[in-house]
Amino acid sequence: MNLNDPTLLRTDSYINGEWVQAPQNRRFAVTNPATGKVIAEVADLDAAAVTSAIDAAVPAQAAWAARTAKDRAMVMRGWYELVLANAEDLAVILTTEMGKPIAEARGEIAYGATFIDWFAEEARRVCGDVMESPIPDKRFLTFKQPVGVFGAITPWNFPIAMITRKVSPGIAAGCACVLKPAEQTPLSALALAELAHRAGIPAGVINIVTGMDAPAIGSTMCEDDRIRKMTFTGSTEVGRILMRQSAGTLKKMSLELGGNAPLIVFDDADIDTAIAGTMASKYRNAGQTCVCANRIFVQDGIYDEFAKRLVAASDAMKVGDGMEDGVEQGPIIDRQGLDKIERHVADALDKGAELLTGGGRHDLGGTFFQPTVLSGMTPQMQMFGEETFGPVSGLFRFSTDEEVVAMANDTEFGLAAYIFTDSTTRLFRVSEALEYGMVSANTGIFSSEVGPFGGVKSSGLGREGSKYGIDEFLEIKFVCVGL
């Protein structure tokens, strides 16, 4: 791994401002999914390390919260500027450990940095209220105060942006965190911690615990009553476990969980826009995003032309090592992910789907999979109810608005949905009818630090980003003053 600043490649955990090894120097391997080669050996800490991180975070949080919002914002601004200054190295680390194309990695670094910048500014806008009192000799006020120490567990598919989207609002609000990054991608998290350290974020405010025993680390966070909030991005199954484990201490929860995004293309859509949007949504990060299109519904009048154009666009994609020039799709993160993709494709074909292109492992070997398009999909197939998390487009045909809204909503999940139409009335009518936390109309990319990110139903609780994101890390205190 060629870095301009090799000191960004950290392999020990970061607790209380120091780099910490595991007992007996236990380590686990981090591999490049494009080559299968080990790129680093990272400290394999256990649940006891979480407790020590919490021990450090509690006093650090009190001191950090006592500083002015402007002071916190200025320190965070320094972190933001360091992330931008080291963006290329961060992108190389991210692509090497995760596999996405370097161009996508650069985009993620820029996107992730916006959350640091945004919430540094939002820190100075946390305001309470003086409320109208119904009692003449009393005055009613509200204060907003930091919730305290929070635990965070982040996924491997966006190892920079998922950290900044969670950590930035928390520390802007005056909280401190203990964070467990995914074991597949700890190097990005540790590089961010190094830059936070250089920026002057005080010891104990950000703590990174790396380790393979995710259940023990997670349960320790949930069961310690000094952690007052948990924030997690990952599967619905694990989200439910964390919620149950946090029930005993009644923590605030932010959960961004599984998706099963419908992408709906109506007859009146601009087909060029729809194809471009579908490619951006479906194949970004090799389909390994929680908001990528999982079920593609195309209306009768445009179905055949859309399928033909989607196949051509899919076949034109360059698959390979993300560090190579021009690569648009990298590898699947691991064998488990690859097995699920193969299972979904096989199930669809067994139940009558037609394979239009792709359908199997790529000639590159390893965990590379061909961009795939399937036609004639039905609700009886696994892809209708389960998130594939891979570069497979399953096309469902529909006739009426009512029919497609019913199919789109026929899932326990409700994270993101996409619609393509040139009708303004249809856009509003369908957007309001879809049971999803986010609807993207006539574009396949919608994420921004300004927009609230989150789902409904089994896709989670709370919102990240936007002016609402910092509220997840604040408590409202009511003060009644007698005159």
Active site residues: 256, 290
Q: Name the token pair of 338.
A: 């690859």
Q: List the one residue out of 188, 231, 190, 176 whose CA is nearest residue 54.
A: 176
Q: Helix 214-223 and helix 236-246: axis angle, to 10°?
A: 40
Bridge partners, 102 (sequence order) = none
Task: Compute the distance between CA of residue 434 and CA of residue 262 in angstroms, rounded to an integer.
Answer: 10
Q: d(Cα 226, Cα 218) in Å, to the nearest integer?
A: 14
Q: C-alpha distances in angstroms, 170 versus 166, 330, 473, 479?
A: 7, 32, 6, 24
CA count, 13 A, side-chain hemisphere, 237: 3
Measured from the Cβ of residue 425, the count of other Cβ atoms closer than 10 Å reads: 8
**Residue type (1 letter), 416:** A
**Per-residue tokens: 51:** 């407790």
Rounded Cα distance, 84 and 95, in Å: 17
Burial of 367 (0-12, 13-18, 19+ CB in 10 A): buried
* Separation CA 289–CA 389 (nearest Å): 7
The closest alpha carbon to 193, from 459, 430, 342, 15, belongs to: 15
Q: Which long-range contacts (CB under 8 A, 24 or more apart) does 451-457 make?
A: 453/165, 453/256, 454/254, 454/256, 454/415, 455/256, 455/257, 455/259, 455/413, 455/414, 455/415, 455/416, 456/414, 457/412, 457/413, 457/414
Burial class, 363, CB count within 10 angstroms (exposed 0-12 / middle 13-18 / buried 19+) = exposed
Give start and end residues of each alpha helix (H) in 261-400: 271-283, 300-315, 335-350, 382-385
- Give the relative orientation of helices 161-173 and 186-199 as an angle to the nearest 10 degrees: 40
Spatial separation of the C-alpha atoms in residues 98 and 184, rounded to whole Å: 7
Residue 117's identity, in one-letter code, is D
